[in-house]
Each structure stands twice: as structure tokens, then as C-alpha cells.
């Protein structure tokens, strides 16, 4: 089973049947010797065992010959790997099949990355991670295309829950998450979250950036310039855009950026 070889597993299953059936026959002989004629029951047990094992071997063999789909547990394992990648916005399809001991996977993904070279790097990273975490994967075929956006999720660092934009990034006690509908540029949802990494002493900005990426943030508005700093590299790798703002209020910062994006289009 460790090698995932159908032939070896079939041989092992057959060997177990031989051992078990021999044990049943031996017990039946002992019962006959001491006056308990249980041979007919022993024969019934052996027949049931042979039929059950034969059926299981036939089903497994047909799955191999017909390139049957992978089991749900393996597909869920692959999906968990893909969901952990922040640049993936949607898993359009996930298909896997068996061919002997080998597994073949095909995925169709939507990515938040527009650059073709970066999208290819994401694809290679996913393939490498899948091979590391899912055994016996022979090939991973990933189709990807840019995300068709209907909303944008903005993140803004705040000094308080009243919406005052913070001068800092990693040390900000709060972050506002504002979801804007692209069709009419209206705010659909807004919430303020406490910074879970404010008390961290080292790599605070990087951890905050990774946290925002995990929340599927599209755009981060900042008063602090993080260019060439750790958070900037985290955002760039995940396809998250960053913009500087001089606004001191959350509403003003969002309005300015939405207007700027509208004019850019």
C-alpha cells in the first residue's frame, strides 16, 4: 500500500485470504475431532470470503484499466493545497485519475495575477507543492487564466475604529476591509479588524502583509511607503496592489482611489 502498486496490493490481499481460509479449515478439523461438525459453516465462511475478495479485486482492477477518478480524500487534499495559495481566486475544475500506481491531475484555475510570467511561476509553485504533499503524483496539468473581477477588496491601516488612516503599516492597531462593487463603484461591505500581529517584535510588517493576503485583499492603501521592504515583496508575489494615499480619513482614502481607478479605465 505504501508503494501504491495495484499488483502488490492484490497479491497481499490474496495471501491474506489464503491464510484466513487455511485457519478456518484448521478450526473446522479441530471441531470435527472433538465432536462439533462445523465444516459446512466453515465452507460457507470461505465461500463468502472468496466472493468478497474476488469482487474487490475485480473492482480495483477495472478502476486501473479504465483510468478511474481519484478518491474524494485525495482530491480534497489537492484542493487544500490550491486553496492555500493566495493568488488563486477560484478553482474552476479539479480532475484526477489513476493509472496503475500513478496519479494524474488536471486543474483549471482563476488567478489574481495578470502577468503571464508570474502566473507561470504560481503554476510551477503549485505543482511542486502538490507533488510534495500528495504521494505518487506523476503529472500535474494546470490551466490558468486571469480572474474576472466583479469586486475589489481594499485594506487600509487605521489608528482607531472611527476611520482615521494610520501613518504606519505593521504597527497599525486596526485595518479596515472595504469591498467595492465594480459595476457602480459602490461600497458593498465594510468591516474593521484588529491587527493580530501588532504586538509581534520581529517581521511585523511581513506578517501583517501575509495576513492581508490570506484575507484575499486586492488593494492596500498606505500612508507609509513600503517600497523595497518586506511587505512590498509579499504583496507583489501575491498579486496585491499597493497605493500611497495622503488621505487622513477612511472614506476619503477609498473615494479617492475608486475615483482614480475609474479615471484610469
What percentage of the chain reaches a pLDDT higher than 90? Answer: 43
What's the confidence (pLDDT) of residue 28? 72
pLDDT digits (tens, 9 = 90+) for 59-83: 666 655 555 567 788 899 999 999 9
The half-sphere exposure of 104 on its side-chain side, counting CA atoms within 13 A, is 9
pLDDT higher than 90, residue 128? yes
Per-residue pLDDT band for 100 (boundaries 50, 70, 90) equals low
On whether the CB atoms of residues 96 and 78 are closer than 8 A, the answer is yes
pLDDT higher than 80, residue 196? yes
pLDDT higher than 70, residue 200? yes
C-alpha cell at position 111: 488567478
Fold of the 151-264 domain: Nucleotidyltransferase; domain 5 (3.30.420)
What's the confidence (pLDDT) of residue 221? 96
Per-residue pLDDT band for 10 (boundaries 50, 70, 90) equals low
Nearest to 135 by CA among 106, 108, 98: 98
pLDDT digits (tens, 9 = 90+) for 152-163: 999 999 999 999
Same topology for domains 72-146 and 151-264, yes or no?
no
The top-scoring range by mean pLDDT among 28-32, 91-95, 182-186, 194-198 is: 194-198
Separation of alpha carbons 255 and 258, rounded Å: 5
What's the confidence (pLDDT) of residue 105? 92
Parse the chain into domains and list their residue ranges.
Answer: 6-65, 72-146, 151-264
What are the two backbone dihedrals, phi and then psi, of residue 77, each rounded to the nearest 5 degrees? -65, -40
Fold of the 72-146 domain: Alpha-Beta Plaits (3.30.70)
On whether the CB atoms of residues 53 and 17 are closer than 8 A, the answer is yes
The half-sphere exposure of 205 on its side-chain side, counting CA atoms within 13 A, is 16
Average pLDDT, the chain: 84
Per-residue pLDDT band for 109 (boundaries 50, 70, 90) equals very high
What's the confidence (pLDDT) of residue 60? 65
Per-residue pLDDT band for 233 (boundaries 50, 70, 90) equals very high
Amino acid at each position: 500500500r505504501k508503494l501504491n502498486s495495484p499488483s502488490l496490493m492484490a497479491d497481499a490481499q490474496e495471501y491474506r485470504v489464503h491464510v484466513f481460509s487455511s485457519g478456518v479449515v484448521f478450526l473446522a478439523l479441530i471441531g470435527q475431532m472433538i465432536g462439533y461438525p462445523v465444516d459446512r459453516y466453515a465452507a460457507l465462511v470461505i465461500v463468502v470470503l472468496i466472493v468478497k475478495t474476488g469482487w474487490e479485486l475485480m473492482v480495483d482492477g477495472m478502476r486501473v484499466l479504465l483510468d478511474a477518478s481519484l478518491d474524494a480524500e485525495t482530491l480534497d487534499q489537492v484542493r487544500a493545497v490550491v486553496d492555500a495559495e493566495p493568488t488563486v481566486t477560484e478553482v474552476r475544475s479539479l480532475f484526477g485519475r489513476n493509472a496503475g500506481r500513478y496519479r494524474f491531475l488536471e486543474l483549471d484555475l482563476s488567478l489574481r495575477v495578470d502577468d503571464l510570467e508570474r502566473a507561470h511561476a504560481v503554476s510551477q509553485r503549485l505543482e511542486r507543492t502538490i507533488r510534495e504533499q500528495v504521494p505518487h503524483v506523476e503529472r500535474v496539468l494546470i490551466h490558468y487564466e486571469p480572474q474576472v473581477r466583479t469586486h475589489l477588496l481594499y485594506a487600509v491601516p487605521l489608528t482607531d475604529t472611527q476611520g482615521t488612516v494610520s501613518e504606519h503599516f505593521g504597527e497599525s492597531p486596526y485595518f479596515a476591509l472595504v469591498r467595492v462593487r465594480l459595476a457602480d463603484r459602490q461600497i458593498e461591505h465594510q468591516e474593521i479588524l484588529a491587527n493580530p500581529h501588532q504586538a509581534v517584535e520581529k517581521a511585523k510588517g511581513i506578517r501583517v502583509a501575509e495576513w492581508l493576503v490570506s484575507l484575499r485583499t486586492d488593494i492596500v492603501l498606505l500612508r507609509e511607503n513600503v517600497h523595497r521592504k518586506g511587505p512590498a515583496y509579499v504583496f507583489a508575489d501575491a498579486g496585491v496592489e499597493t497605493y500611497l494615499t495622503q488621505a487622513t480619513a477612511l472614506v476619503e482614502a477609498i473615494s479617492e482611489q475608486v475615483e482614480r481607478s475609474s479615471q484610469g479605465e
